Each structure stands twice: as structure tokens, then as C-alpha cells.
């Protein structure tokens, strides 16, 4: 009975303490509000000087523009919240930024990580993963450039291999047509005060004849075709391309070339040299623009004497022909 009585007294005391505390708190709040309300009739400078300015953190005070005394508190630019309540105005919520947030006074900026793009519908705060189209485009471009690089490489290798193969073939033909023997004969005639046989390459003659174009043909015969050639230095020559070549007569052919390049006669077209890099050797003569011996003999109105002069010419032509002159029946004649 005594314990129950003491417990009732204790509860009554706690209830009184709680009521008194609430009354004290209400009095403090009321006094604070009255104090601030009374200072709201002051200007910003007056309230600031008295230390009772109601504006909280990150705010600024603006004097009343209505003509009545007083002021009002406004959050600083970029800040949000209640300017009169503690703790004042706050920075915007940077948690809304879904990417990389860069904080600035009163604001922030958002950027996206690699592989993401800014979401235009989220006021620049959101990021979206790049769609699968981007990797496909990059992959396609990479494959395209890779394929082009491989194609260029294969093309370059093909032409390089083809050129190397052509060089080997020409070297083989040069040896097959007596090129080594010709070099030995040329070396043996050096210092003998005679014209040396010129060895032309296949590339030189192809360029000189514009790859043996039809408009460079001077004439055709039973043994081959004669082309007009122009070298890079401006020298004009006649190039004879024979139809066939007897491989068993290679040594004799080389000897005849050496001899004929040393022949100098006003009535005989000079042999300058040869090319042995083709299947059939090519002969290079000096170019004479006065026509052929056949044309001069059969041309109407041409007066030919049948004396010792003609006999000596016939003997010379016979001697050079007998020595194995490697040319066709229709040779060019210098009518000097």
C-alpha cells in the first residue's frame, strides 16, 4: 500500500516537471520571436549593428522597398532553403547528379564517365549508357580501315613480287641470249679505239617506243617490225624487233653484233647496240629520216649510175650481209 502511494507521488512530480519545461521552452521561443519581430522594423544596417539580424547563413539582407521600415532576408544566388531558420540556406542537392559532380559556390555541374552520354531530358544532371550503335559504328569503321590497309598491303606486295619476278625473267633471258658472252666481247674490245656496243635494257626501249605503240612503227617485214624510239636525252633511234631467233646461233649473233657496231660507212645504217632482256633480241640502229634503200632504188625519177661506184657498194653490202648482218631485207639508207 505504501509502495503504491509513493509511485503515485513520483508520477505527479514528473508530470509537473514536464509541464514546467514546456512552458519555459514556449516562453523562450515567444521571447525570441518577439525580439526578432521588433527588429524587423529596423533597417539591415541597424539590425546588423545591434547583432539581432534575423538573416541566417548563406543569405543577404535587403531593406524594404515599400517605404515602410524593415528588411527581408533572401538566399544567396544558387542557394536554397529558409533564410530566417537555422541553419539558413543550403547548397543545391548535388546528389541529383548521376555522373561526375563538380561543386561550385551555390551550384554544381555534372559530367558523365566514359561510355555514358548526358541525358538531355534530365536538365543535364543524368547520364545514359551509350547505345549499342556506337560500338557497332566504331567496329565497322575499324574493320573498314583495317580491310583497306590489308588491301593496300596485298596490292603493294603483288606488284613488288611481279616486278621482282620480271627482273629475274629478264636476267634469265639476258644470260640465255648471250649477255655474258657479249660483256666479255665488249671488255675485249675496250681500248681498241673502236665504237663500243651499247647494251640497252628492256625498260629503256619500252619507254623510247611508248611501249611499242602502233604510231611508232616505221615498217614491217618478213623478219620483224621496226619502231621509232626516242630516248629521254632526245636521241632518235630505230629499234628492230625480230620475230624468231635461232638459239643455236647465239654465239654467232653476238660476234656479228660486235662487228657491225664497229662498221662506219656513209651508205650503211649504223648499229648502235642491242637488248638481250626479251625473248627475241632487239637491235637498235641510228635513225635515218631519208627512207630505205628499197625506196631509193625503186623511186621514180631517181637517177642511179651503174658504174664502179655501184659495184663497190654492192660488194660492200654483200660482204656485210655475208658476215651475218642481223637485219631484215628492208634496211634504212642514208642518201647523203
Residue 246 or 27, more confident: 246
pLDDT for 12 equals 63
Query: 313 to each of 114, 284, 317, 325, how far by Cα in Å?
Result: 94, 23, 6, 15
What rounded mean pLDDT belongs to the chain? Answer: 73
The string over 281-299, giving b where at least 16 C-beta atoms fall within 10 Å of a residue's C-beta and e elsewhere, is bbbbbebbeeebbeeeeee
Average pLDDT over residues 103-128: 68
How confident is residue 284, by pLDDT bands cut at 50, 70 and 90? very high
Query: 4 to each of 8, 9, 17, 18, 105, how far by Cα in Å?
Result: 6, 9, 20, 21, 63
pLDDT surpasses 90 at 127: no
Average pLDDT over residues 128-140: 65
pLDDT for 22 equals 53
pLDDT for 135 equals 62
Report the DSSP beta bridge partners of residue 199.
274
pLDDT surpasses 80 at 316: no
Q: How far apart are the first and last CA of the chain?
A: 166
Report the DSSP beta bridge partners of residue 227.
217, 239
pLDDT surpasses 70 at 6: no
| Per-residue pLDDT tens digits for 207-246 | 999 999 999 999 887 778 999 999 999 999 999 988 777 7
| Per-residue pLDDT tens digits for 262-283 | 888 777 788 898 998 888 888 9
Segment among 165-174, 192-201, 276-285 with least mean pLDDT: 192-201
Average pLDDT over residues 188-210: 80
Residue 290 or 185, more confident: 185
Residue 241, annotated as binding a ligand: yes
Q: Cα(156)–Cα(165) distance, rounded to whole angstroms?
A: 14
- The DSSP code for 332 is B
How confident is residue 158, by pLDDT bands cut at 50, 70 and 90? very high
Which residues have CB under 8 Å from 312's CB, separation 6+? Answer: none
Average pLDDT over residues 140-149: 89
| Per-residue pLDDT tens digits for 36-74 | 444 557 888 888 888 888 898 889 999 888 777 888 899
Amino acid at each position: 500500500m505504501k509502495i503504491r502511494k509513493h509511485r503515485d507521488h513520483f508520477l505527479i512530480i514528473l508530470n509537473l516537471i514536464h509541464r514546467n519545461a514546456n512552458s519555459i521552452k514556449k516562453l523562450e521561443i515567444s521571447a525570441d520571436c518577439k525580439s526578432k519581430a521588433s527588429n524587423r522594423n529596423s533597417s539591415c544596417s541597424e539590425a546588423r549593428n545591434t547583432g539581432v539580424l534575423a538573416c541566417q547563413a548563406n543569405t543577404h539582407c535587403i531593406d524594404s522597398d515599400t517605404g515602410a521600415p524593415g528588411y527581408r532576408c533572401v538566399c544567396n544566388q544558387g542557394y536554397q532553403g529558409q533564410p530566417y531558420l537555422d541553419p539558413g540556406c543550403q547548397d543545391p542537392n548535388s546528389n541529383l547528379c548521376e555522373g561526375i559532380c563538380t561543386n561550385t559556390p551555390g551550384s554544381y555541374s555534372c559530367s558523365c564517365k566514359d561510355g555514358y552520354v548526358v541525358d538531355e531530358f534530365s536538365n543535364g544532371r543524368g547520364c545514359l549508357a551509350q547505345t549499342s550503335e556506337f560500338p557497332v559504328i566504331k567496329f565497322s569503321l575499324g574493320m573498314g580501315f583495317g580491310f583497306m590497309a590489308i588491301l593496300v598491303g596485298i596490292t603493294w606486295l603483288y606488284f613488288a613480287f611481279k616486278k621482282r619476278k620480271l627482273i629475274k625473267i629478264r636476267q634469265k633471258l639476258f644470260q640465255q641470249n648471250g649477255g655474258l658472252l657479249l660483256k666479255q666481247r665488249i671488255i675485249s674490245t675496250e681500248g681498241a679505239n673502236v665504237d663500243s656496243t651499247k647494251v640497252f635494257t628492256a625498260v629503256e626501249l619500252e619507254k623510247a617506243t611508248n611501249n611499242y605503240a602502233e604510231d611508232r612503227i616505221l615498217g614491217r617485214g618478213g623478219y620483224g617490225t621496226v619502231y621509232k624510239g626516242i630516248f629521254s636525252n632526245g636521241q632518235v633511234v630505230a629499234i628492230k624487233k625480230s620475230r624468231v631467233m635461232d638459239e643455236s646461233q647465239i654465239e654467232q649473233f653476238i660476234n656479228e653484233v660486235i662487228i657491225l657496231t664497229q662498221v662506219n660507212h656513209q651508205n650503211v645504217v649504223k648499229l648502235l647496240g642491242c637488248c638481250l632482256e626479251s625473248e627475241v633480241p632487239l637491235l637498235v640502229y641510228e635513225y635515218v629520216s631519208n627512207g630505205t634503200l628499197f625506196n631509193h632504188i625503186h623511186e621514180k625519177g631517181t637517177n642511179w649510175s651503174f658504174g664502179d661506184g655501184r659495184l663497190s657498194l654492192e660488194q660492200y653490202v654483200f660482204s656485210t650481209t655475208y658476215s651475218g648482218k642481223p637485219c631484215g631485207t628492208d634496211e634504212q639508207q642514208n642518201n647523203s
